[in-house]
């Protein structure tokens, strides 16, 4: 939960180009935003590039923040849009054409709390790696719908595709994720 007064002071400092305030804002949100960007990219280096570009946009547009939502949600939206823009520009992954059961990991046996926490972290990392193995168009729709909670209509508008294509890509993404996770589970047995 954001401390509204502290966030307001940090924003005011950033708007006055105070370096400490900028560093504080970056520090407060870097980890969360890296996690968001990792879901859209193939590797950590690419995610870090997106985060850097995203924070540049945050600082350039901070005067537009209107306090109607949380600062974290506002920054998250910029990061998602930055990731989408980067993917669009990447000629190696031309994913967006103008033509065109919720994801959950089952729990395993109960273990000691520390071991269970480690196990859950490993499952999250497994899921993240599986998501990164999806094709860029499936990964993007999956992330926007399942993780970012956008509607198919919003996704269609953002990506310049039809709602039907968004729904189809989500279905295919879920099926591919099941295949990837099943394959990985069999490999690890």
> Per-residue DSSP letters for 140-155?
HHHIIIIIS---HHHH
Number of domains in the chain: 2
Domain residue limits at 24: 4-89
Q: Does 108 reside within a domain?
A: no
> What CATH number has the domain bearing residue 59?
1.10.1740.10
Each residue of 113-147: pLDDT tens digit?
444 554 555 566 777 888 888 888 899 899 899 88
Residues 117 and 184 in one domain: yes
Q: Does 100 reside within a domain?
A: no
Residues 9 and 83 in one domain: yes
> What CATH number has the domain bearing residue 130?
1.10.10.10
62 with 102: CB under 8 angstroms?
Answer: no
pLDDT at 187 (0 to 100): 77
Q: Which string of b and e fits 108-128 if b means at least 16 CB within 10 Å? A: eeeeeeeeeeeeeeeeeebbe
Each residue of 2-38: pLDDT tens digit?
688 899 999 999 999 999 999 999 999 999 999 899 8
**pLDDT level of residue 72 (50, 70, 90 thresholds):** very high
Residues 84 and 119 in one domain: no
């Amino acid at each position: 939960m954001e401390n509204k007064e502290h966030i307001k002071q940090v924003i005011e400092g950033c708007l006055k180009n105070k370096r400490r305030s900028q560093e504080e804002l970056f520090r407060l949100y870097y980890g969360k935003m890296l996690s968001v960007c990792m879901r859209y990219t193939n590797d950590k280096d690419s995610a870090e590039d997106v985060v850097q570009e995203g924070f540049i946009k945050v600082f350039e547009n901070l005067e537009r923040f209107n306090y109607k939502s949380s600062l974290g949600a506002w920054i998250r939206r910029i990061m998602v849009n930055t990731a989408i823009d980067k993917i669009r520009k990447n000629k190696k992954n031309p994913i967006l054409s103008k033509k065109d059961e919720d994801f959950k990991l089952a729990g395993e046996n109960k273990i000691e709390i520390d071991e269970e926490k480690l196990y859950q972290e490993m499952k999250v990392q497994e899921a993240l790696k599986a998501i990164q193995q999806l094709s860029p168009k499936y990964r993007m729709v999956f992330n926007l719908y399942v993780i970012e909670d956008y509607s198919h209509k919003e996704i269609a508008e953002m990506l310049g595709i039809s709602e039907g294509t968004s729904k189809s890509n989500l279905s295919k993404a879920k099926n591919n994720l099941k295949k990837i996770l099943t394959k990985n589970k069999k490999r690890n047995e």
